[in-house]
Amino acid sequence: MATIKLYAGFERFWHWSQAALIILMLITGFEIHGTYTLIGWEQAAEIHRIAAWTLIGLWAFAWFWHLTTGEWKQYIPSPMERILAMVKYYAFEIFQGKGHPFHKDRSHKHNPLQRSAYLGLHLFIGPAIWISGLLYLFYGDLGGIGLEWLPLGAIALVHTGAAFLMLTFLVAHLYLTITMSDPVGADVKAMITGYEEVDD
């Protein structure tokens, strides 16, 4: 085994800041939706709006960083046989004590399933949330850009549906990150320190 620096400083800042903002938006978003009452609708809406603009700004910086450093290549989908090997491992082989079919290095930080999941998050779930959120926020001005025909109910449905997909991703990500790393919690530690033990 060798210890290498796998995650850059900005990558870790972006990851944890994004996680905090998403959790904050989920908490305030479900309060706005009327699921529960914690701080009141008006305060929840104000915090939700500020967090949303902050997250959009963070994503803009993250996209710039990925494009200029070449890190976008980490999300190129893997061949189907490698994806199926990961599915087989998580479904059966992990319970039989077999070795992990994927080994990290600087050019391959994410296993084939993670690559597909993160690509879906960045291309579909994230944009669905912020585009529907902006349409919701500026609904009264949509006539100025020819979108007055968009029904508010449909925009709200897309925004809420995308929020549930984000919540599902967050729960699955936490479960797999904490329980499937070896030793348990090693991936969380690596995302804090930037360093991780990998096979030679």
**For residue 197, which phi and psi values (nearest 5 degrees)?**
-85, 130
Q: Which two tokens stand for residue 197?
A: 């033990």
Encoded amino acid at 91, one letter: A
Among 3, 6, 1, 38, residue whose Cα is nearest residue 194: 6
**pLDDT for position 156:** 94
Whole-angstrom distance, CA of residue 115 vs CA of residue 85? 14
- Bridge partners (DSSP) of residue 197 are 3
- Cα separations (Å) of 129 from 6, 8, 105, 124? 29, 27, 32, 9
Whether the pLDDT of residue 53 is over 80: the answer is yes
- Poorest-confidence range of 5-14, 46-55, 67-76, 104-113? 104-113
Q: Annotate 42-104 with DSSP letters as a single string.
A: HHHHHHHHHHHHHHHHHHHHHHHHHHHHTGGGGGSPPPHHHHHHHHHHHHTGGGGTPPPS---
Contacts for 28 with CB less than 8 Å, ≥ 6 apart: 39, 44, 45, 47, 48, 51
**pLDDT for position 128:** 95
- Cα separations (Å) of 136 from 16, 38, 162, 170? 27, 23, 13, 23
**pLDDT for position 52:** 95
**pLDDT for position 124:** 94
Q: Are 177 and 15 in contact (CB under 8 A)?
A: no
Q: For 160-172, how does the pLDDT look when each residue is reduced to its tens digit (9 = 90+)?
A: 999 999 999 999 9
- Cα separations (Å) of 141 from 135, 150, 171? 9, 12, 36
Q: For 56-102, how does the pLDDT look when each residue is reduced to its tens digit (9 = 90+)?
A: 999 999 999 999 999 999 999 999 999 999 999 988 998 898 888 88
Encoded amino acid at 173, one letter: H
**For residue 2, which phi and psi values (nearest 5 degrees)?**
-135, 145
